[in-house]
Amino acid sequence: MTSAAIARDRLTVAIARDHAERVTAEALQRAQVKARAHEVTRPSRSRKLARDWGSGNTIVGMDARQLRDQARHLERDLDLADNALNVLVQNTVGSGIDVLAAPRLPGQPINRDLAAQIDDLWDAWWDAPEVTRLHDYGACQQLLSRTWFRDGEAYWQDLLGPVALLEHGTPVPYSIEMLEPDMIPLDLDDPARNIRQGVECNAWGRPIAYHVYKTHPGDRQGWSTETKRVSADVLHGIRNLKRLHQVRGLSVFASSMSRFEDVKDYEESERVAAKVAASMCAAIKKGNPDRYGENSGVGLAGEMTIAEPGERSLRMSPGIVFDDLLPGEDISIIASNRPNPNAATWRKEQLRAAAGGIGVSYSSLSLDYNGTYSAQRQELVEKWGGYLTLAERFIAMAVRKQRVRFIEAAVLAGRIRMPRGWELKHLAASTYVRPVMPWIDPLKEAYARGEAEDRGWTSPQQNTLQYGNNPDEVARQIEDWREQRDDVLPTANGAGDTSTRALVRTAAITAMLRD
């Protein structure tokens, strides 16, 4: 036997052995699948098992850019998506999360003189906080939060003290530069330097620097792939994270995007179908086929025109009478099945499901406010917890960091003198005024808060903050108003009789409950 024949026989045996081992392994795997305890983990013809796409960073690297582009498309072309972002921004930051100075040492009262000084500087900085001077601080918060929700993340850079070619807009030398997530490349990976998707991390996974394009990659003029390294001490970001160890965020529309696209396509189809149905009104039936092609006779109430042999042109007009048809002809009105009576119900259920994925209430997303007071308030209370969670995260990741930088810049510039024994955290102590929960029945809500205050369950300052007002400013205005009035009821200490208000409220509550 030749060596070639021996080699061929050995190869045949090896192939057969490998095939047998593969068949055995597949059989064992199928047996393991069938032996799983949970039915949902068993694949079948009607159910496929989900694939494991790896870590959160792997998923972001595959889909983040496409999801971001699609979310921006929905915001541009679908009013429902635009309204969803408006609702999130309105209930998370509103017109802007205000910050009230409350500098104090632990266990000590607030230093009112220092608080007034900080508030004056903060009010001036509010008007021109960023490098372009196009937005006040409220608008900056709205843009940052909108970018965070739509794109999944938003970034800004702190600029303190003298900066080349930058003139700060206020006496406090501190400005911010807002950046879209496009400025940090998703495809920049360097394992040698521990760079993942443009974010440089230390051995524990903490971001220590960002690699940022020098110009926006979407600009048609002057864009290049050159990046610069910016320390995480001055460049900050807020991200929508769903997985541990994830460094880049995903859009809030990620889980509801397909449903929004379906609603958009369905509504477009229904609109086209309704327009086509409105253009079809009637048809002429001819009973005798021999009469096809005749061009004599009068058509519809004198509206018939004589065209080429075998052609007739009939035009509909309001109040038309079908009294001059040719022998054997009949008019049949084409019934239009539009608008579809089931379209509104289908759309409502789709929006109800999409609202849960985005994190907004169905009533706010669809602008459908039908329902009882109890149902409306229950929906509002449940969703307000989600809005409050987002607001707290935005404060922690954005507003508080910017506030601390502002105080630091004011101290370094000599605008604020730190008392002896104080630290920066004592000087930066503040109260953050979030958007207040809207009221469905203002009278009931006001009575409930007033009753809680009279019973000592809450303080007047807390109630004032719930209205979105500054308690100190309200107290000053009340004092000014008392000085201007002549009909204030005097008391033993010379102040207005505050118990009168409680008596009036108690009588009103009793009458309301009785009714």
Q: How far apart are CA 68 and CA 74, in angstroms?
A: 10
Write down the number of H helices and E strands in the chain.
15, 13
Judged against a pLDDT cut of 90, whether residue 288 lies above it is answered with: no
At 211, which amino acid appears? H
- Alpha-carbon distance of 433 to 472, in angstroms, equals 13
Which one, of 434, 468, 427, lies nearest residue 121 by Cα?
427
pTM score: 0.76
| Alpha-carbon span 154 to 249, nearest angstrom | 9
Torsion of CA 243, 363, 350, 353, to 10 degrees: 30
pLDDT for the residue 299: 45
Which residue has better confidence, 398 or 51?
398
pLDDT of residue 509: 64
* CB-side neighbour CA atoms (13 Å) of 63: 17
Is the model's pLDDT at 163 over the cut of 60?
Answer: yes
316-348: buried (b, 16+ CB within 10 Å) or exposed (e) per residue?
Answer: eeeebeeeebbeebeeeeeeeeeeeeebeeebe
Longest CA–CA separation in the chain, Å: 126
Q: In this structure, are residues 235 and 155 in contact, taking their beta carbons and an 8 Å threshold?
A: yes
Q: Render 92-122 in DSSP notation, one character per residue.
A: HTTT--EEEE----TTS---HHHHHHHHHHH
Enter the DSSP assignment of 490: B
Q: 3-class DSSP state for residue 477? A: helix
Instruction: With cut-offs at 50, 70 and 90, classify the pLDDT of residue 422.
Output: very high
pLDDT confidence band for 467 (50 / 70 / 90)? confident
* Percent of the chain predicted with pLDDT > 90: 42
Long-range contacts of 110-118 (CB under 8 A, 24+ apart): 111/419, 112/472, 114/416, 114/419, 114/427, 115/472, 117/416, 118/407, 118/410, 118/416, 118/427
Domain boundaries, given as residue ranges, for the chain: 3-41, 57-252+359-435, 281-335, 441-515
Q: Give the Cα separation of 19 and 22 in Å (integer).
A: 5
Q: Which residues of 161-226 form beta strands (DSSP E)?
A: 174-179, 195-196, 199-201, 207-213
Q: How confident is the model at residue 304 (pLDDT cuts 50, 70, 90)?
A: very low
pLDDT at 301: 43
Residue in the block written with tokens 């105080």: 407
How far lies 397's CA from each of 153, 261, 391, 404, in Å? Answer: 11, 32, 10, 12
Nearest to 194 by CA among 181, 172, 211: 211
Look over the chain and give the mean of its residue pLDDT values, rounded to a whole number.
83
Tokens 């119900």 belong to 345
Average of per-residue pLDDT across 229-246: 94
Q: What is the pLDDT at residue 213?
A: 94
> Which tokens is 43 given?
């694949």
Segment 22-42, tens digit of pLDDT: 888 877 766 665 566 677 777
How do residues 90-117 score in pLDDT, each as one tens digit? 999 999 999 999 999 988 888 989 999 9
| Residue 44, pLDDT score | 75
Query: In 296-455, at which residue ranges do the beta strands (DSSP E only) sit?
Result: 305-306, 312-313, 329-333, 430-433
Would you report the helix, strand and coil content of the chain in percent, each value rounded to 5?
50, 10, 40
Summarize pLDDT for 368-417 with one digit per residue, the tens: 888 777 777 788 888 888 999 999 999 999 999 999 999 999 999 999 99
- Please answer whether residues 398 and 238 qualify as being in contact, where contact means their C-beta atoms are separated by less than 8 angstroms: yes
Strands 282-286 and 305-306: unpaired
Classify the C-alpha dihedral 197-203-206-207 as positive or negative. negative
For residue 312, the model assigns a pLDDT of: 59
